[in-house]
Structure 1
Amino acid sequence: MNPVRTVSLPTGERVPALGLGTWKMGESTRAAALEVAAIRHAIALGYRLFDTAEMYGEGGAETVLGKALAEALRAGEVRREELTIVSKVYPHNASRKGVPAACDRSRQRLGLDVIDVYLLHWRGGVPLAETVDAFEAEKARGAIREWGVSNFDVHDLVELEGLPAASSADGLLRCATNQVCYALDERGPDFGLRAWHQARQMPLMAYCPLGQGSLAGSAALAEIAAARGATAAQIALAWTLRDGDVIAIPKAVRHAHLAENLAALHLMLTEAELAAIDAAFPPPTRKTPLAMV
């Protein structure tokens, strides 16, 4: 069954609130079969959003994801229109000439005609205006459906918003999302950044929402989880998804973890639980640099 919870992009399109990250996949040929099987199992469970990047395994993660998608599509386990595939371009490839070449390589590895959401992985030496122009050109030629950014803080987004090509005639920001490290142990985005997103109805996409696995061992979260018949990891994910404006993309390979993460979609935390979580993981009281993992 597909996840029932979705998040709205600035265009009004709805995408799954929970997806599967592929960071560190595709780095070993020995692990490839296991990783393909994990993605196939995720599809069977109902995952419909998958995040990857040309950086992950230097294209290896895209290749693994592409193989899994091809097998699932051939088997009739999912339809292409049900899927949201996110990938990211290296900053040094984010030029007017570099974007189309990198995008074509990613599409070939993924085995897809179109990448649904294509992100700038982080800021580099290429002027932001040039990258946005290149992204808009990719939309025009049908290689991508939407574009966005990653690891952008408020000052970066303000600069982005000021670019003529980044907004439509009616002032709607064309950037679909901003992917950042966001978890209970990395709450920096709660100071300023999330409010900026919310004001523009642009979702945040949270990578490492389980703190690279560390939050699964939190005693404070385990205490809350025990009363709900849940796990600490599920409480951490439910917190990330609490307001309906964040897309979480935890990475998992084990079948049990894939199912456990997906079940977190059905957990709605109470005010008392949220207060207990804030006591254990206090929200930031000042601006700090965004974490990059």
Structure 2
Amino acid sequence: MKQMMIGKRLVPAIGMGTWGLGESISSHAAEKRSLQEGLHLGARVIDTAEMYGDGLAEQLVGEVIQESKREDIYLISKFYPWHAGAQQLEASLHASLKRLKTDYLDLYLLHWRGNIPLTETIEILEACKKAGKIKQWGVSNFDIRDMKELYQLPQGDKCVTNQVLYNLGSRGIEFDLLPWMKEQQIPLIAYAPVAHGDTLGANLEKKKILRQIAGEHNGTVYQILLAWSIHNGTTLAIPKASQLEHMQDNMGALNLSLTENDLKELDRLYPAPKRKLPLAVL
């Protein structure tokens, strides 16, 4: 099973995303079973946010983690940029912890950059660490200029990760952001690692080759896309799975290793960027 480091914590390289979960009563039971199955199959990371369903995703996760040992789970949540000030951030954290039914978060992320000075946000995040309410903090949707600015600020280098959109069809961060993060030894958290469904294989030639590679590994196209997203050893992928079968598919990618020929063929189909591109977001 492929693993990677987030701060001082070793975790499986594929976790569970929750964007869009918890918002429908009719699908609640299936989504809960899917997350439970992920934990059963070895997933340890659950990623959520106060934004997801206005807290409904956090409530769903709170139900799920009650049935496991809290120390076995690496729990991530995110806060709005307009909640990044001292008083607002503490209130947001308190509300998230209440919905999640836990005393602490393993990782707390600024969801995207806003107008509140980063120095103020860093100061309160460090205070939350000292109070034991969070173990570590990081950012999300930060491009290279934002990351460099952050790391020049007092205690800015305490940021342990940056969560951005990254998949085989969205490789823009490989031009400058990802190399800089590797140089600073900052792991990446990749959201939407298989894009939207099978859209990466919409082209007939690409679909044929993706299926061929999947067949050679006795896997699925989704597993190939996930295996690619974590093949560098410094990326944590957090695909969403609302159905049991999809979760089982996702977790199976942890044991799939792409060959050098596979990687060359995928590079040919989905070339790395040759120039700076705007940071892709969903």
Interval of TM-score (by shorter of Structure 1 and Structure 2): over 0.9
Identical columns (%): 43
Alpha carbons of structure 1 residues 49 and 216: separation in structure 2 relative to 1, 3 Å: farther
- In the TM superposition, what whole-angstrom CA distance separates every residue of 1:195-214 from its partner, at most 9, and x where no partner exists? 11111111100000001212
SS in 2 for 1:284: coil
Aligned-partner Cα distance in 1 for 2:16–2:270 = 25
| Equivalent pair of 2:19/2:52 in contact (CA under 8 Å) | yes
Aligned-partner Cα distance in 1 for 2:200–2:244 = 19
TM-score with structure 1 setting the length? 0.91
1:197 matched to 2:181? The reply is: yes
Q: Pick from 33, 40, 52: which aligns with 1:37?
A: 33
SS in 2 for 1:97: helix
Q: How does 1:29-68 map to 2 (within 5 A)?
A: 29-68=25-64
Residue identity matched to 2:195: G
Q: Pick from 133, 137, 141: which aligns with 2:131?
A: 141
TM-score with structure 2 setting the length? 0.95
Aligned-partner Cα distance in 2 for 1:127–1:38 = 39
Aligned-partner Cα distance in 2 for 1:227–1:165 = 47
Segments of 5+ residues of structure 2 without an aligned counterpart are none
Q: How does 1:1-293 map to 2 (within 5 A)?
A: 4-9=1-6, 11-70=7-66, 72-73=67-68, 79-166=69-156, 173-213=157-197, 214-215=199-200, 218-293=207-282
Residue identity matched to 1:27: E
Residue identity matched to 1:116: D
Higher mean Cα deviation, 220-229 or 141-150?
220-229
Segments of 5+ residues of structure 1 without an aligned counterpart are 74-78, 167-172
Kindly tell me the number of residue pairs found equivalent between the two proteins: 277
Higher relative contact order (CA 8 A, sep 6+): 2
- In the TM superposition, what whole-angstrom CA distance separates every residue of 1:235-290 from its partner, at most 9, and x where no partner exists? 11111111100000000022111111111111111111101001111111111111
Aligned-partner Cα distance in 2 for 1:219–1:100 = 50
Aligned-partner Cα distance in 1 for 2:169–2:122 = 32
SS in 1 for 2:76: strand
**Deviation at 1:34?**
2.1
| Equivalent pair of 2:33/2:244 in contact (CA under 8 Å) | no
**Deviation at 1:216?**
6.3
